[in-house]
Structure 1
Amino acid sequence: MTAITTSVFELFKIGPGPSSSHTIGPMKAGYNFHKSVADLSLDIQPDNIEIRLYGSLSATGKGHGTDRAVVAGLLGFKPDNVECEFLDSLADGAPRKFESDKISLPLSIKDVVYAEVENDFPYANTLLLRLRKGEEILFEQEYYSIGGGFIKCKGQQEEIPRVPPHQYSNMVELKAILTDEGLRMHQVIVENEQALKGISETEVYDKLDTILDTMKQAVMNGLAAEGTLPGPIGLHRKAKRLFENSSQPNAADKFLLRLNAYGFAASEENAAGRIVVTAPTSGSAGVIPAVVYALEEELKISREKIREGMLVAAALGFIAKHNASIAGAEVGCQGEIGVASAMAAGLISYACGHRFWRTENAAESALEHHLGITCDPVGGYVQIPCIERNAMGAVRAYNAYLIASVENEKFHKVNYDEVVRAMAETGKDMNNKYKETSLGGLAVSVPNC
């Protein structure tokens, strides 16, 4: 199997919610198309742009804001520089101007076509972006949103990544590097990152600080916010109340209540379309921020240890993505909240000073107990069950860490590679109606209030 060459900062990306596969990925596709059009030499002047969405992009794209995201990308915006207020403004359907070299065309969310959910494309979540003159297609690009904000473009030559000094494709190979070279896990990941991106160790940690600060800001913003979330469900935010009530004398467990509040807070910000960090996806953007906030603010773990834990969390995410998937549209929510919980459990264990075998055991347990979880958002909105599930994922990560921190290594029977394989197989067998399409599970059993 090929070695993992994903960057830490490809996995952890800053951008608007509510979904990395439905918002960040399509925006990147639109931006890529915008750049590709600039290189065209057309004999016929186009008069419209067509945006066709397939898979769960079609089924739940309206609730996820896919229409606004891809239009923003076509207008030249990227996830890390778009204003949330601008994205919101696109919902009115008023035409904007798509401009590239000699081309100037009206563009709005009305140009979006919600096409077939069931399709034969290589990836379920596919976008076709077309320049047209009437019904004639002058230029077309086929994009796949593969989860976590990652995209692929049919026919485009992928950039050949630099060769990392420590090559691994799974946990067994990663542990062999640690043993053979006498390194700790965070050292392997930071050295690979330096090679992949051509940056210094200091720059790696500075970029990690930006990611961590953005995560914590999402938690703080969510703890301060009140009211209902966008969309027809009318779901009220809970984070502020949970946090405030955790200080009451009769609170059952103050720490766990606050950990839940932090998970709700970041996830509610994501559901509102505010700025979050994919970790590994936007739909799971509350799990790791909740843990990071609790570790720093409650347990007073140093930023240095948190950074090291984040690098280990990235490695766990890499392995899951490389050998299975982190996309709800491919494997259900086990690939989003499940992998996020595994990453968070590993982060806690490592930041608290445990070595790689306890860290792996914590991550394995967290993912094992998310196996089979479906992705069935009510109304296509990342609200029910997604927000509460982020809090549950954070608590489960903490519990997995607690067990791993005291168990006997000899008696732990399942390793991380095995549970990732189980997730991949479960995802293959899972009915498509449970893969982010809102055609099964809670999405049909709960009235769309």
Structure 2
Amino acid sequence: MGNERISIFDMFKIGIGPSSSHTLGPWRAAQRFLDVLRRRGVLDQTEGIHILLYGSLAKTGVGHGTDIAILLGLSGDDPVTFDVYQVMPKVQDIKTSQRIRLGGQHAIPFSYTDNLMFLYAESLPFHPNAVTFQAFLQDGTAVSETYYSIGGGFVVQEHDAESVLSEVDLPFPVDTAQELMVWCMKTGLKISELVMENEMAWRPEDETKAGIMQIFHTLKDCIYKGCHTQGVLPGGLHVERRAAKMNKRLLKGRPYTDYDSWVSAIREGGKDFNYILDWVSCFALSVNEENASFGRVVTAPTNGASGVIPAVLQYLITFHDCYRDDKIMQFIATASEIGSIFKKGATISAAMGGCQAEIGVSSAMAAAALTECLGGSQRQVLMAAEIAMEHHLGLTCDPIGGLVQIPCIERNTMGAVKAITAAQLALNSNPDKAKVSLDAVVSTMWETAQDMNVKYKETADGGLAIKVPLSLPEC
């Protein structure tokens, strides 16, 4: 925690659902292991491979698609570009043929049952999400590497835990909300403007803007697709998708073939409170139903919480007439800075902190972003983030069946609505009279995470996860 240099594109990553820590992270870890084999010149000499999953990755790995992600990662596929419709067919082919093509070029025997091991009773000390890859070479030697998926798609290698992110010299380095506020006071910059100045330490401004808009286009495509796709979610819980039905009811059955005309039609429905509330819920549901279906989503800051920020951004676009590139970039830049403060001072991993670390953080990010876009001061932005997290403290992660479905999908609607409420409260309050600072709530969240029983940290060993009798098929 702390002393990290976190970019917008570290907090917002394009990938495939259903989990940033259990899907995207292990996928990236598999890719990194391939790179190790390539650098050592032994990829073509590999005769066999074992994958050992520990802790939370073992206990909820199948429900979160960890096995699927690792097989695709070892196959050389990338989560940003891989065709989501080919996820299941390719994995099934690996299982059936009992062969995997490492890096897409070197085929070796592979048994899903024997070579992919879920070590349910074992955990490594650095982080609950751990995976070890072992490659066995023709000369009888082996290459072994262990990686930790620490939340939000971030991956660190064993013995390299301090080098999580690239070190750069930022003009406005920030680890805490107080430091952020000091820089804003010294410069007069909005939080989003300060973030954009920092981003130039990594790349030219036009590249940052193009990258943010790519993030947005992925978000809007996910929302639109989720609002127009019916069916039952995979995994065995038989959860029916609801966003498409809500969308159809709210628009009285009128069909739309593109995002822009769809948004215009929603606006025509007016601004009745119940109408807006239904749409915010629909937006959030749509994203997380896509996430649960191995669709393309954006970590915001995680996959399990990926519906909160898109829902609040879509609310801003639709009901505040803010469908403008500058507002979209302002929103995403502000959100990323708040998320980075939580990552530095606490955690964004449910396996470390429960769902407060995912839905709570995403709600705080969205509340802050919405507040700035609606004209709030820097202090009001931080106040909104504090309010949103304050009312998620202690939220557990207890997914039924280890799937990112119940209660995960509905929790995104709750996080989105709380974010909007927090923004409204902050905009109508004097932040100078706030009793609780954002730094105080970040610290409290981390202390709460440390005190939380491990069975409530994405293990499916407690809470709702053990209240519903299940007989799920093997993936």
TM-score grouping bracket, smaller chain normalisation: over 0.9
> What is the aligned partner in structure 2 of residue 408 from structure 1?
430
The alignment yields a C-alpha RMSD, in angstroms, of 2.3
Superposition map of 1:379-418 within 5 A: 379-418=401-440
Q: 2:309 aligns with which of 288, 298, 304?
A: 288
CA displacement 1:384-403 (0-9 Å, x = unmatched): 00000001110110011111
Tell me, in whole angstroms, the C-alpha distance in 1 between the residues paired with 2:182 and 2:52. Answer: 46
Q: 1:326 aligns with which of 348, 366, 379?
A: 348
Counterpart residue type for residue 400 of structure 2? V
* TM-score after normalising by structure 1: 0.94
Classify the secondary structure of the residue corresponding to 1:224.
coil
> What is the aligned partner in structure 2 of residue 176 from structure 1?
182
CA displacement 1:274-311 (0-9 Å, x = unmatched): 00000000000100111111211222113312211211
How many residues align? The count is 446
Counterpart residue type for residue 363 of structure 1? A
Counterpart residue type for residue 338 of structure 2? L
Q: 2:287 aligns with which of 236, 242, 266?
A: 266
Tell me, in whole angstroms, the C-alpha distance in 2 between the residues paired with 1:284 and 1:127. Answer: 23
Tell me, in whole angstroms, the C-alpha distance in 2 between the residues paired with 1:10 and 1:434. Answer: 26
CA displacement 1:188-236 (0-9 Å, x = unmatched): 11111110x2x22222111111111111111101100111100110000
Classify the secondary structure of the residue corresponding to 2:142.
strand
Per-residue deviation at 1:359? 0.8
Per-residue deviation at 1:117? 4.5
Classify the secondary structure of the residue corresponding to 1:48.
strand
Contact 2:99 2:107 in 1 (8 A): no
Q: 1:351 to 1:252 in 2, by over 3 A?
A: closer
Contact 2:34 2:103 in 1 (8 A): yes
Classify the secondary structure of the residue corresponding to 1:442.
helix
Superposition map of 1:100-179 within 5 A: 104-107=107-110, 109-110=112-113, 111-132=115-136, 138-156=142-160, 158=163, 160-179=166-185
Counterpart residue type for residue 169 of structure 2? V
> What is the aligned partner in structure 2 of residue 203 from structure 1?
207
Counterpart residue type for residue 331 of structure 2? G
Per-residue deviation at 1:108? 5.6
Classify the secondary structure of the residue corresponding to 1:132.
strand
Tell me, in whole angstroms, the C-alpha distance in 2 between the residues paired with 1:335 and 1:215. Answer: 21
After superposing the two structures, state which structure 1 stretch, 115-124 or 258-267, moved more. Answer: 115-124
1:59 matched to 2:59: yes
* TM-score after normalising by structure 2: 0.89
Counterpart residue type for residue 108 of structure 2? L
Per-residue deviation at 1:44? 11
Q: 1:41 to 1:278 in 2, by over 3 A?
A: closer
> What is the aligned partner in structure 1 of residue 101 from structure 2?
98
Contact 2:34 2:43 in 1 (8 A): no
Gaps of 5+ in 1: none
Contact 1:64 1:380 in 2 (8 A): yes
Per-residue deviation at 1:132? 2.4
Contact 2:398 2:463 in 1 (8 A): yes
> What is the aligned partner in structure 2 of residue 216 from structure 1?
220
Counterpart residue type for residue 204 of structure 2? S
> What is the aligned partner in structure 1 of residue 392 from structure 2?
370
Q: 1:137 to 1:350 in 2, by over 3 A?
A: farther
Contact 2:43 2:106 in 1 (8 A): no
Contact 1:130 1:140 in 2 (8 A): yes
Contact 1:16 1:276 in 2 (8 A): yes
Tell me, in whole angstroms, the C-alpha distance in 1 between the residues paired with 2:103 and 2:178. Answer: 48
Per-residue deviation at 1:35? 1.1
Classify the secondary structure of the residue corresponding to 1:253.
helix
Per-residue deviation at 1:155? 3.6
Counterpart residue type for residue 389 of structure 1? R
CA displacement 1:69-125 (0-9 Å, x = unmatched): 011111112221222233212442133433469964234644210013452331110
Per-residue deviation at 1:353? 1.3
> What is the aligned partner in structure 1 of residue 255 from structure 2?
none
Contact 1:91 1:109 in 2 (8 A): no
Classify the secondary structure of the residue corresponding to 1:47.
strand
Give percent identity, aligned residues only.
38
Per-residue deviation at 1:181? 2.1
Tell me, in whole angstroms, the C-alpha distance in 2 between the residues paired with 1:331 and 1:5. Answer: 22
> What is the aligned partner in structure 2 of residue 445 from structure 1?
467
Per-residue deviation at 1:436? 0.6
CA displacement 1:301-340 (0-9 Å, x = unmatched): 1331221121111000000001110001000000000000
Classify the secondary structure of the residue corresponding to 2:155.
strand
Q: 1:179 to 1:69 in 2, by over 3 A?
A: same
CA displacement 1:368-397 (0-9 Å, x = unmatched): 100000111100110000000001110110
Counterpart residue type for residue 308 of structure 2? V
Counterpart residue type for residue 370 of structure 2? I
Contact 2:313 2:331 in 1 (8 A): no
Superposition map of 1:331-342 within 5 A: 331-342=353-364
Q: 1:434 aligns with which of 456, 468, 472?
A: 456
Tell me, in whole angstroms, the C-alpha distance in 1 between the residues paired with 2:15 and 2:153. Answer: 9
Tell me, in whole angstroms, the C-alpha distance in 2 between the residues paired with 1:91 and 1:241. Answer: 31
> What is the aligned partner in structure 1 of residue 373 from structure 2?
351
Contact 1:34 1:75 in 2 (8 A): no
CA displacement 1:248-289 (0-9 Å, x = unmatched): 79x871001100100000111001110000000000010011
Q: 2:192 aligns with which of 186, 196, 205?
A: 186
